[in-house]
Amino acid sequence: MLPLSEVKVLDLSRVLAGPYCSMILADLGADVVKVEMPKKGDDSRAFGPFVNGESAYFMSINRNKKSITLNLKAPKGKEIFKNLVKKFDVVLENFRPGTMERLGLGYDVLKKINPGLIYAACSGYGQTGPYTDRPAYDAVIQAMGGLMSITGFPEGRPTRVGASIADITAGLFTTIGIMAALVKRKSTGEGDMVDIAMLDSIVAVLENAIARYEITGKVPGPIGNRHPSITPFESFRVSDGEIMVAVGNDDLWAKFCQAIDKPELIDEPKFKINPQRVENYDALKPILQSVMAQKSVDEWILILEKAGVPCSPINTIDRVVNHPQVMARDMIVKIHHPTAGEIKIPGSPLKFNNAKVIFNPAPILGQHTDEILKELLNMNENEINMLRNNEII
């Protein structure tokens, strides 16, 4: 039995932040029912690339869910939704704040229907503050949250992180908030509202950038692949590419110097301890770079791994999906989609001794509408056909 196998989630979210959260909940065993607009569905169903007309983007973040279609703007659609809320533990949405209230389906309304309901709202700027009504996408939040200003190389342009990190961190924090509220409900019997903002999530993961600014008064900027507080902790150009080396403490510094055949650097006063290495970075970097340039990626990886120094080639995605460690951890899994056929998607990093995540394909739009309405609301075929004819579902 997976940890959340008794939890039922009514998922109104779309695109990435909310669906990423509900995917994690579904991976953990929750029964996630995705509520989508009739005919259109989640916006990401229109994002490429496509396999037999199905979005690979959508399929990669909506596994293990069921899909129903429901028009929440229609009075009958709202009535059905409210009846469903009585049967669920969690409602998840990532609309702009105020949207659910305008539909007459905000938390204050739904908690009266189901006092134990966990209502999770994941938005760009949260439910409060002067920016709450603004639209937001990942790149906008990366810019506003300062992340782009510290990403990239000196003298280069501000750079977006390659993954949609604002959406994903917000999805992760929403997951944590929901699970914390579920634990609290066990002891109190009361539901709660979880309010997560993408901007808050990015600020929360800025870690040492904010600490450095508050202590030194200097505004952090981009420094490429090096660490601002640890040296050497960066990528080096080698004879046929680049490798990443992370010398995280003084013991590793000694191992690293021995491995690169520079033992005289170990006790050199300017480099002996990490604060001195950081302070004298400009003097140290050329010395190390001249040595590292003499061998290939494979040669250095062999030498440094043998010495116990953390390092890695800078893998491209094709190498990642075929990496032996990634494969050993089942992080690339095959699923069979009824329309797209067999596809590969990222697996789950959540591993348990006594439970195993099962991967079911993302649902076709409205695939489970009839099933849910029959099982949970006791509707018959005639009622369901009438709803379909009136474009409620």
pLDDT tens for each residue of 158-174: 999 999 999 999 999 99
Q: What backbone torsions phi and psi does residue 329 show, to the nearest 5 degrees?
A: -95, 10
For the chain, the average pLDDT equals: 96
Q: What is the pLDDT of residues 32-46, one digit of tens each?
A: 999 999 999 999 999
**Per-residue tokens: 361:** 């394909």
Burial group, residue 249, by CB count within 10 angstroms (0-12, 13-18, 19+): exposed
Does domain 8-204+331-389 fall under CATH 3.30.420.40? My reply is no
Q: What is the pLDDT of residues 172-220, one digit of tens each?
A: 999 999 999 999 999 999 999 999 999 999 999 998 899 999 999 999 9
Radius of gyration of the chain (CA): 25
282 included as an active-site residue: no
User: Where does the pLDDT of residue 1 fall: very low under 50, low under 70, confident under 90, or very high at 90 and above?
Assistant: confident
Are 233 and 243 in contact by the 8 Å Cβ rule? The answer is: no
Q: What is the pLDDT of residues 290-331, one digit of tens each?
A: 999 999 999 999 999 999 999 999 999 999 999 999 999 999
Q: What is the pLDDT of residues 122-160, one digit of tens each?
A: 999 999 999 999 999 999 999 999 999 999 999 899 999
Class of domain 233-315: alpha beta
C-alpha 334/C-alpha 337 separation (Å) is 10
- The pTM score is 0.94
Please tell me which residue in 31, 42, 89, 167 is annotated as part of the active site: 167
The whole-number average pLDDT for the span 222-233 is 95
The whole-number average pLDDT for the span 322-349 is 95
Calculate the alpha carbon distances from 96 to 15, 102, 133, 135, 219 in Å. 13, 11, 7, 7, 32
Domain segments of the chain: what residues? 8-204+331-389, 233-315
Q: Which residue has better confidence, 91 or 358?
A: 91
**Continuous segment of H or E residues that includes residue 374:** helix 369-377
Q: What is the pLDDT of residues 80-119, one digit of tens each?
A: 999 999 999 999 999 999 999 999 999 999 999 999 999 9
